[in-house]
Amino acid sequence: MTRRQLLHDGASRSLATDRYLRVLGREMTTLRSRTRAPTALVQLRPPEVRFRFLDALWIQVTGTRCNIACRHCFIACGPKTDQIPMMSAGEVECALDEGRSLGMRQVYFTGGEPFLHPELRRLVRSALQLAPLTIVTNGLLVDDAAVAMVLEESERTRYSFDLRVSLDGTTAAQNDRVRGRGTFERVVEALQRLGRAGLSPVVAVVEHEGIVRAQARDRFLQFVRDLGIARPRVKFLPLFRSGREVRRTHGYHDMGVLASAPLLPEVESQLPCASGRAVTSQGVYTCPMLVEHTSARLGKGLAESMHPIRLNWDTCQTCMLDGMRTSN
């Protein structure tokens, strides 16, 4: 947050994604005219995504352990969920070393809630010796000690050190219905604390009902600015219909919608799985959205995961059609 900043997403869906949707519409119309039964769509093979290079290394340092249980969490994290165990400091550092050997450009610590890790400061220091670091956090544990740690570690490194703080509304009514009662007030206090320290976190907003990117961006920027953050940055994230969110929105429709159109190069190159991998205590996965899918496990180590994958999972619809970008 005190040095070189990474690009954040635009105000709306990318032009490449819009073009893909237009092509998709044409291909779907042609395909339906050639098939007698709608079920023929599910027989199509999902598109393949080539692996370009290791840009983003996602490390799920706390597994699925979190201090809250958001209603829209795409991997169902919570205080009592341990389907993916917390990583040891040694496991994290091994992943960092392997990532460096493969040319990683940036690191993300995620979970669960990374600030629950008992050796987080050691992990932060290890990561910042190698690459820019972002901690993806709900902000509830960003107290004075955490802010001091961010400031001190930022001064020790030549790389940027960011926090990405989740906030799903500019009011308690919007935010707390998905993140839990009282979370809005506590996150606002954390953002004010960061602002007073001269830090500029990325505020991440999930586009759940009532939050539409095109209508809300200016409002969120002004809201964050009013909290005392001089250079506000807001990142809108599409809603993934997986994990705990399935209970509310009943998942996805037929995967044939993705398999029916060509994967445009400009769309493929920006997909998270084209230049990123997620490391957990249980191995390496195609992306952080799929760490609960055993079929998305690519192996024990990063080196064996550097190969093309197919978009075989329902969750891939969100990245393809909503223009998911994982960078800040």
Q: How does pLDDT run across 184-216, given as a tens digit for each residue? A: 999 999 999 999 999 999 999 987 665 655 667
What is the residue-averaged pLDDT of the chain?
A: 83
The confidence band for 78, taking pLDDT boundaries of 50, 70 and 90, is very high
What 3-state DSSP class applies to 9? coil
* Amino acid 28: pLDDT: 42
Higher-confidence residue: 22 or 165? 165
HEC sequence for 235-297: EEECCCCCHHHHHHHCCCCCCHHHHCCCCCHHHHCCCHHHHEEEEECCEEECCHHHCCCHHHE
Contact 62, 296 (CB under 8 A): no
71 Cβ neighbours under 8 A, 6+ residues apart: 177, 178, 179, 244, 245, 247, 248
Work out the pLDDT band at 81, boundaries 50, 70, 90. confident
Estimate the share of the chain in helix, then strand, then coil, as percent rounded to the nearest 5. Answer: 40, 15, 45
245-290: pLDDT as tens digits: 656 666 666 655 566 667 788 888 889 999 999 999 999 999 999 9
Of 24-28, 37-41, 42-46, 167-171, the range with the highest mean pLDDT is 167-171
User: What is the structure's pLDDT at 10?
Assistant: 37
CA 93 to chain centre: 21
Q: Which DSSP helix (H) or strand (E) runs through 152?
A: helix 144-156
Question: Could you read off the pLDDT of 85-131 as tens digits, one per residue?
Answer: 999 999 999 999 999 999 999 999 999 999 999 999 999 999 999 99
Helix (H) or strand (E) holding 133: strand 133-137
Considering the entire predicted model, what is its pTM? Answer: 0.84
Sign, CA torsion 128/133/137/139:
positive
Displacement of CA 325 from its chain's centroid (Å): 8
The token duo for 239 is 């809603």
At 315 the pLDDT is 83
Going by pLDDT thresholds of 50, 70 and 90, the confidence category of residue 234 is very high
Residue 56 has pLDDT above 90, yes or no: yes
pLDDT category of residue 6 using cuts at 50, 70 and 90: very low
pLDDT of residue 13: 43
